[in-house]
Structure 1
Amino acid sequence: MSFTIAFYVHHHGSGHLMRTLQIIKSLSDYRIILMGSGLEKTPESDHFELIHLPLDYGETPLTETTSALPEGVHYAPLGLSGIRKRTAMMAHIFEQHYPLLLVVDVSVEVTLLARLSGIPTIVIRQHGQRDDLPHMMAYQSAEVLLAPFPEAMYDQPLDTMLNKTVFTGGFSRFSSRPKVRNVVKNSIAILVGKGGSSIDESLVSEISSQATDYTLHVIGCSGTKNINSNVYWHGHIEDPFELLSSCELIIGNTGHNTVMETASLNKRFIGIPEVRPFNEQVEKALSITGRTGIEIVYPADLASQNWNEIIQRLLLQLPDWQGITDDEALDKAATVIISTGKRLFEN
């Protein structure tokens, strides 16, 4: 019996979608459905069917109610049409395309909806303190937990879900590309992610004013004013591989994609952990703290840094990303997904 593989992609930031698109490339022999909100800019492909789900926020929920948020979920407002519509659409997909295996990146509620619909799931694990009841319910209901990073980056030995977790090692959209050798001396990339960042014009101005011997390439946003002559605003770049490869050092938040892309490029890194649910970026920052060529600066300490001194010190070090990425990570992820589907549907 053949089966369909569906992916649910969370809309916050760009990391979930980028990760999913990389995994899909290794599943060319299977029918793929990709569903989520905010996927309008995702290019159409013959390899997967794209399902646009309505947003589940932006409306006014019911307020005259005596009910409280159930302890087993993170998000369940009452009365939102977007939730009703997206739930109906997903239930329809579950019914129409069965046998189906759902890979969830990420949502407790979608994982539990699939389980209540009789659909097996694989849940993508993330860093952070995720031992709360909703996460435990979702993890318990999943067939497999897939961690897109090495076990060496995970420091929770008492985790009761380790026995069903598969660590693939890290990967990024740059993993399979050849290393670029034309590095430009004293060039620095500053990455501004989509999920909200303390890296703003004020910080760029401060860094550029202190580190006057360096050229700063800001990727991900455009400046509203001229700051210093050593700053170049590039805005959104669809494929920043060449520019990032040419820089000696990358400054960015410690979100999953930024960390894995920097590791794939083997670049020196100044990581700034942002406040995220479940302390995700802080935990990821801690998992790479102490390596040469890597410096972690917390948002509360940004204003007190000697940026010129940090940059000079890091440029004298070789970056140590050993063991973070794995050339076979995508194949490992695909193997887990395929073997799970075969175990369930082809025996």
Structure 2
Amino acid sequence: MIGYYIHHHGSGHLLRARRIRACLGQPVTALSSLTLSDDEVLDDVVHLPAENPASTVGDPTAAGALHWAPRHDRGLADRMAAIAAWIAATRPDAMVVDVSVEVALLARLHGVPVVCMALPGARTDPAHQLVHRIAERLIAAWPRDLYDPLWLRPYADKTRYVGGITRFDGRPPVFPPRDERPTVLVVGGACGGSSTAAQVRVCALRHPEYHWRSIGLGDWADDPWPELCRADVIVTHAGQGAVADVAAAAKPAIVVPAPRPYGEQEATAHTLASAGMALTVDRWPDLGDWPALLARARDLDTGRWRAWQTRGAGARAAAAIAEVTGERLRSAS
């Protein structure tokens, strides 16, 4: 049995976990405060209590050594107790953590080998350094030849750069009915980003020569693949899942990184721009800037998306976990 801690912010961590699970030969239990009832991919779910911070938070970083461990926080205590109880009862072969320094440490203190997802950005603080040291393997969901941060190099022997992990790996393109106008698809995220539905509506009124569509801006799509395939240009944030999805669709893209801790999305956006994969801007463009930006995006060589290495990325992540558990893999579905 493999435990898999799934962070509750956004949907990217969950979608990544499902893709990796499809390539593993061992059963996987998800531990998360997300709603995961009747999940078709994960084998079992431990529902963790939701975070409910007290009105007064005391020393949440433990003097800078951790990220979130406030004194006398009942919600934290309940979550950690639930994880510890599951570990004691199940005795998993490994724990995959995406992402939490504290959960990784808890598992390792129980003697459970830990596989941690690495994230882009400046991860040089003491808490990140600690979790990178104690992990058996680190999985970086991007190609090393495009982004090789200095802070990961001391752990090169145990880091596996697997490429962008997308749920659409291997899925054939679809060809929905097309509009006579070029289609601009704006992709939002469950954690918010740099765009809003109102901004998209204003763009549609100002630039009716384009067909403006959106997903993830109050209009969530369970299966956005047809929308990605029909788009002539995709405007997206720089979350790892969103970027991998665009790479799988191989579409011209304008990337607007959302503010995240440690400069996570800015680092990804800079990498994409340097590789000529996408046009990146540091904020939502002014209304008058869109025609020139969209024209520049449509001139991009979409073949460069192959360098993001989405094909087989989930299987490579599963292989990194199997290095720790010693288990054979199964073919991805």
TM-score normalised over the length of structure 1: 0.86
2:292 aligned to 290, 298, 309, which one? 309
Q: Distance in 2 between matches of 1:62 and 1:188?
A: 44
Q: Which has the higher contact order (CA 8 A, sep 6+)?
A: 2
1:249 aligned to 228, 233, 247, which one? 233
Post-superposition Cα deviations, 1:209-254, rounded to whole Å, max 9, x if no partner, equal 44321111111124xxxxxxxxxxxx11111111221111111101
Structure of larger gyration radius? 1
Displacement after TM superposition at 1:292 (Å): 4.5
Q: Is the 8 A contact 1:8 1:35 kept in 2?
A: yes
2:169 corresponds to: 175
Amino acid corresponding to residue 281 of structure 1 in structure 2: Q
Q: Distance in 1 between matches of 2:277 and 2:308?
A: 14
Q: Distance in 2 between matches of 1:43 and 1:114?
A: 25
Q: Distance in 2 between matches of 1:108 and 1:68?
A: 11
- Map 1:128-277 to 2 at 5 A: 128-157=121-150, 159-182=153-176, 184=178, 186-222=182-218, 235-277=219-261
Q: Is the 8 A contact 1:210 1:307 kept in 2?
A: no
Structure 2 residue runs without a partner (length 5+): 328-333
Q: Distance in 1 between matches of 2:311 and 2:240?
A: 17
**SS of alignment partner, residue 129 of structure 1:** coil
1:318 aligned to 301, 308, 324, which one? 301
Identity of aligned residues (%): 28
Displacement after TM superposition at 1:201 (Å): 3.7
* CA RMSD of superposed structures (Å): 2.2
Displacement after TM superposition at 1:161 (Å): 1.9
**SS of alignment partner, residue 34 of structure 1:** strand
Amino acid corresponding to residue 318 of structure 1 in structure 2: D
**SS of alignment partner, residue 8 of structure 2:** coil
Structure 1 residue runs without a partner (length 5+): 223-234
CA 1:208 to 1:122, structure 2 compared with 1: closer, same or farther past 3 Å? same
1:13 aligned to 10, 22, 29, which one? 10
Displacement after TM superposition at 1:293 (Å): 6.1
Q: Is the 8 A contact 1:210 1:306 kept in 2?
A: no
**SS of alignment partner, residue 35 of structure 1:** strand
**SS of alignment partner, residue 302 of structure 1:** coil
Aligned length: 323
Q: Is the 8 A contact 1:56 1:80 kept in 2?
A: no
1:107 corresponds to: 100
TM-score normalised over the length of structure 2: 0.90
CA 1:306 to 1:209, structure 2 compared with 1: closer, same or farther past 3 Å? farther
Q: Distance in 1 between matches of 2:250 and 2:41?
A: 33
